[in-house]
A = this chain, B = another copy of it.
Amino acid sequence: MERSTRQRSAIRSAIERAQRPLSPLEVLAAAQAEVPALGLATVYRNLKLLVDAQEVAPVTLPGDSPRYEAAHLKHHHHFQCTACERVYDVHQCPGNLARMAPPGFTVERHELTLYGRCATCLETA
């Protein structure tokens, strides 16, 4: 990642602006507002570079392909709407999960995903 290109800036700022993790296609759509000719392969290549550079963090939800968000956010979890499939950040954390592990195990980190309906989908229904 040696050069500063219009495409890379557009991808970076699309992720920065988003209030939630974006899928590669969502990144493409958002960044094309700035660079219409942007290709999906470029999005994938830059996501990989930005993750390696720790500017962007991959969000891996159970059974779903990765989404991407800014890496500077502190510890949080995710909520996925079962209707529209969008993913939202959840800033609370149940904490103290270490004691849930079987005896003799140590817990380093955890992932929690809530599933349900988001406010938008509940209003529409």
Using a CB–CB cutoff of 8 Å, the interface residues on chain A facing chain B are 58, 60-66, 77, 79, 81-82, 88, 90, 92-94, 96-97, 99-119, 122
Q: Which residue of B lies closest to A89 (CB)?
A: B102
**Contact in complex: A116, B105 (CB < 8 Å):** yes
Complex CA distance for A64 and B65, rounded to whole angstroms: 7
Expressed in whole angstroms, the minimum distance between the Cβ of A6 and any Cβ of chain B is 29
**Contact in complex: B119, A114 (CB < 8 Å):** no
Indicate whether A106 sits within 8 Å of B116 (C-beta atoms), given known contacts A58-B63, A100-B90.
yes
Complex CA distance for A114 and B109, rounded to whole angstroms: 6
Complex CA distance for A111 and B107, rounded to whole angstroms: 16
**Contact in complex: A115, B119 (CB < 8 Å):** no
Partner of A107, one of B93, B100, B103, B115: B115
